[in-house]
Every structure is written in C-alpha cells, then in structure tokens.
Structure 1
Amino acid sequence: MKHINDITLFSSQSTAVESYHLTDEKRLTGDPLQSVQNHFQSPCKQFNVGIWQSEPGSWNINYSEYEYCDILEGCSIITDSRGKSLTVNVGDKFVIPAGFSGTWEVVNHCIKIYVMFEQQLEQT
C-alpha cells in the first residue's frame, strides 16, 4: 500500500536539469538550446513526467511514445508528414500519439509540461 510520502511533489524536488543541442541529423533550422527536467519515472520506465523547454528552431520528430503536453510559455508549430500543421500556444493542452512523425518548430521560447507513456511492444 502507498502513503502520502509516496506522492511526487515537483516543487519539493531538486531534479537535475539536462541541457543539450539537437544532433545535426535531426535539426532543420537554428541551433536551439533545449533542456529537460524529468521529475518522475515509473519503475518500469514506461511513464515519465517533467518540464521541457527550447529556444527557437525546428527539427524532425518521430514519436514512439504517447505524449501529453501543456504549453506554459511560448509558441510552437507542429507539422505532420503530409504538411498539415497545428500552432500551439500558452494554455494549449494536447496529446501527440505514438507513431506521429513530422516537424516541431519553436517560434518563441517554449516551455511545456510533458507526460509520456511508452508502450512496450511484445516480443514474438
């Protein structure tokens, strides 16, 4: 049985921030500095929650996980592999499905809360 001390409270954690630049193969425009602060990972490592941010730029995306996003700051344009796009701004909440591919462009410095679930594929 779990108790109140088992609740992960982000504000009381000192989670490390990992900063990085995208690889040349992934990056399309700019050289955006990005960071991730993963506040929680489940024991099976399939479920992650944290905060991501990026400077302006664009890159290719290919999702193997489901990702819930809540945009806290900035503006981004997500474009699918057929060229159809969606602009997301502060307050927008959405889920990107596993299998989605296309591009992500940060127009203005972007911060989002993410909740990711990576389904394990059964070995046959």
Structure 2
Amino acid sequence: MTDASVSDISGIVDFAVATPELTHSKPAPDRLLAGTPEQKTRNFFSDSTGQFFAGTWESTPGKWRVRYAESEFCHILRGQVHIEDERGNGRTFQTGDSFVVPAGFIGTWHVKVPTLKLYAIFEAASK
C-alpha cells in the first residue's frame, strides 16, 4: 500500500483492516548460518519518498547474517529473537519487547521460536 492524502483521515492506515499483499522470502544462501527460516512480510505503508515503511514480519526459526542500511523499530508480538553484533555481544527480545536496530548495524538475527513483529523502517536517501 502507498500513502494516501496526508490532509485527511483517509491517509491513516489501520493495520486491523488493511489487507496488504503477503510476500514470502528466505535469507540469501550466503547469509544463512542455521536452519531453514521462511519469512512472511505484509507491508502496510510506504511513503511517497520510498524511505519509510511499516508492517508485519514473521519468521520460522533460523539464524542469518544482517547488515542494516536502514534504521528499524521492532515490536515483538509473538516469539523470541536473539540479535548479536560482530563482536559477539547479544540481546534476546521476546513477546512484548520493543527495540530499534540502527542503520550501520552488522551482526546476526537468530529467530529462536516462530516470531511475529511489527516494524517501522526508515532508510535515508542515497547521497
């Protein structure tokens, strides 16, 4: 879905009633470290600049390398993930937790149990 008029109520996206397309994906083989994670994304909102997105993402268990060009706010609705940086420092997040992964983060995502999250992503325009 794309953004609507920003001057009236029609521009508000209600996740409870919107029906965005479901996209299936898997981590790229060169990034996969463990498991066979399958991911589903529903992007409920994209702004007109192509820099801001919001929706839901879910994944089956697995572990893969990540490199963030964007900043991402996450809220775990169900499940548990462990995120680790390149130095081996990690944090576990589970149902009810909210966090931000800043642009420039390099490390791993490890989905321990099937996980569903809300996301809001901002990716700065290329210079």
- What is the TM-score when the length of structure 1 is the normalising length? 0.95
Work out the CA distance in 1 between the residues paired with 2:19 and 2:73: 23
| Equivalence for 1:71 | 76
Gaps of at least 5 residues in structure 2 are: 1-5
What is the aligned partner in structure 2 of residue 50 from structure 1?
55
Alignment of 1:108 onto 2:113: yes
* CA displacement at 1:5 relative to structure 2: 1.5
Supply the distance in 1 between the matched residues of 2:22 and 2:126 (Cα, whole angstroms). Answer: 29
CA distance in 1, matches of 2:79, 2:15: 22
In the alignment, what sits opposite 1:21? 26
Q: Distance in 2 between matches of 1:116 and 1:23?
A: 20
Q: Which residue of 2 aligns with 1:86?
A: 91
Secondary structure at the aligned position of 1:64 is classed as coil
Percent sequence identity over matched residues? Answer: 37
Instruction: Find the residue that maps to 2:69 and give its secondary structure.
Output: coil
What residue number does 1:60 align with? 65
Shift in Å, 1:121: 3.3
Structure 1: 5+ residue runs without aligned partners? none
Q: Helix, strand or coil: the match of 2:10?
A: helix
Compute the RMSD of aligned alpha carbons: 1.0
Aligned residues: 122
